């Protein structure tokens, strides 16, 4: 019996929406019906590739996406991007965040924009070299993020930086290009979930997770931080995500204060009823019965 193509599943939502928790519920649900489920994304792709292609390239691109994000900003006369190592030595995002100053000035719009397109390049590599092999063997490729969310955040930050050589008109055109780029069927999942969360609720949840905000989670790059800047940025991102999810036909899950278990139960029900998932589950059952 021929192995069916697997299913790609992606989650999208503002920071603190509960994507990682939901991914865990979905993974257990898929495995519970006998379907192999593999977590895919930037970090897993780097770990899986090691020294083979595209591992070293992903590492270098990841570092440069961080360096570019800071856009030449300074703090106390020192460039902020000094926090980004020259070589990828199994560094983590937390290691970079730990070294960042409380305040930054002079961030140029060109940096975050270049960072955005660098991350898009990473997403192309991950899809081709990490996701597609998983699908080819009939498994579920599960990602707790989708690159459009990060792009929407970076654009939201860039709009709040001082208007420089990168004008608002450039940002408008970039936003349209980014939306089109992530609409490409090559990057779109078979099943997409948007966790539509309230930024004020998400702030508390995100803070409880790590005790701090990341550099692109509020408006720190634009000289503002704290709950108000988080809510302002994430609210604009949430609007972009809702619009895109509607266009793409993604399932929208309201994260409105109900217990996470209820949201997870709804997502699992929808996922297991998806025709591609049912096909994979049935084929796996048939193979098991045939002793294959």
DSSP string, 62-96: HHHHHHHHTTT-EETTEEGGGGS-SS-SS--HHHH
Q: Domain 7-289: what homologous superfamily?
A: P-loop containing nucleotide triphosphate hydrolases (3.40.50.300)
Q: Which residue has the tokens 């409105």?
A: 256
CB distance 214 to 272 below 8 Å: no
pLDDT at 292 (0 to 100): 42
For the chain, domain boundaries: 7-289
| Three-class secondary structure of residue 180 per DSSP | helix
Report d(CA 51, CA 246) in Å as an integer.
Answer: 39
For 33-61, write each residue's pLDDT tens digit. Answer: 999 999 998 889 988 998 899 999 999 99
SS (H, E, C) 102-131: CCCECCCCHHHHHHHHHHHHHHHHHHHHHH
Q: Kindly tell me if the per-residue pLDDT of 210 is higher than 80.
A: no
Q: How far is residue 227 from each of residues 218, 237, 258, measured CA to CA in Å? A: 8, 15, 22
What is the structure's pLDDT at 46?
Answer: 87
Q: Tens of pLDDT along 82-126?
A: 878 776 655 555 566 666 777 889 999 999 999 999 999 999 999
């Amino acid at each position: 019996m021929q192995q069916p193509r697997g299913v790609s599943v992606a989650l999208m939502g503002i920071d603190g929406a509960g994507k990682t928790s939901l991914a865990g519920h979905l993974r257990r649900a898929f495995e519970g019906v006998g379907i192999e489920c593999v977590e895919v994304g930037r970090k897993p792709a780097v770990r899986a590739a090691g020294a083979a292609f595209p591992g070293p390239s992903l590492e270098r691109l990841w570092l440069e996406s961080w360096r570019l994000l800071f856009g030449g900003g300074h703090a106390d006369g020192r460039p902020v991007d000094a926090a980004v190592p020259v070589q990828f030595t199994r560094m983590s995002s937390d290691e970079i965040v730990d070294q960042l100053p409380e305040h930054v000035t002079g961030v140029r719009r060109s940096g975050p924009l270049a960072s955005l397109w660098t991350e898009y390049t990473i997403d192309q590599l991950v899809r081709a070299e990490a996701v597609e092999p998983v699908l080819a063997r009939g498994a579920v490729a599960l990602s707790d993020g989708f690159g459009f969310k990060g792009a929407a955040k970076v654009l939201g930050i860039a709009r709040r930086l001082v208007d420089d050589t990168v004008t608002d008109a450039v940002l408008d055109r970039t936003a349209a290009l980014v939306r089109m780029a992530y609409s490409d069927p090559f990057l779109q999942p078979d099943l997409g979930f948007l966790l539509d969360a309230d930024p004020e609720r998400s702030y508390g949840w995100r803070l409880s997770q790590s005790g701090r905000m990341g550099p692109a989670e509020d408006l720190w790059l634009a000289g503002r931080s704290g709950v108000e800047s988080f809510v302002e940025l994430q609210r604009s991102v949430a609007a972009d995500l809702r619009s895109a999810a509607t266009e793409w036909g993604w399932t929208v899950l309201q994260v409105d204060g109900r217990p996470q278990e209820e949201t997870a139960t709804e997502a699992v029900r929808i996922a297991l009823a998806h025709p591609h998932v049912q096909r994979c589950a049935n084929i796996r059952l048939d193979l098991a019965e045939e002793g294959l």
